[in-house]
Amino acid sequence: MKSKKLKTVNYQNEDMKEIKTLIIITIVVILVAIGLYFLTDRILQNRTRDLPVPPPSPISYTNTIVGRIFDKPYEDYYVFLFSSADDRAPLFNGLLRNFDQEEEAIKIYFVDLSIGFNDHVLSEESNPNPRNAGEVQINEYALMRIRDGRVVAFHDTVEAIENALSIER
Centroid of chain to Cα 54? 16
Please check whether residue 89 is in contact with residue 156, taking contact to mean a CB–CB distance below 8 angstroms.
no
**Beta carbons within 8 Å of 62's beta carbon, 6+ residues apart:** 107, 108, 109, 110
Q: How confident is the model at residue 97 (pLDDT cuts 50, 70, 90)?
A: confident
Mean pLDDT is highest, among 12-21, 26-35, 135-144, for 26-35
Answer yes or no: are the C-beta atoms of 47 and 99 closer than 8 Å: no
- pLDDT, tens digit (0-9, with 9 covering 90-100), for 42-61: 887 776 666 677 777 677 77
Q: Looking at per-residue confidence, does 26 or 139 come out higher? A: 26
Strand partners, 82: 112
**Which CATH superfamily is 63-167 part of?**
Glutaredoxin (3.40.30.10)
pLDDT of residue 169: 46
Q: Is the dihedral of CA 14, 15, 20, 22 positive or negative?
A: positive
Give a three-class secondary structure readout of 43-91.
HHHHHHHHCCCCCCCCCCCCEECHHHCCCCCCCEEEEEEECCCCCCHHH
pTM, to two decimals:
0.62
State yes or no: pLDDT of 117 exceeds 60: yes
Q: What is the pLDDT of residue 118?
A: 86
pLDDT, average across residues 94-120:
81
For the chain, what is the total number of helices (H) and then of strands (E)?
3, 5
**DSSP symbol at 122:** B
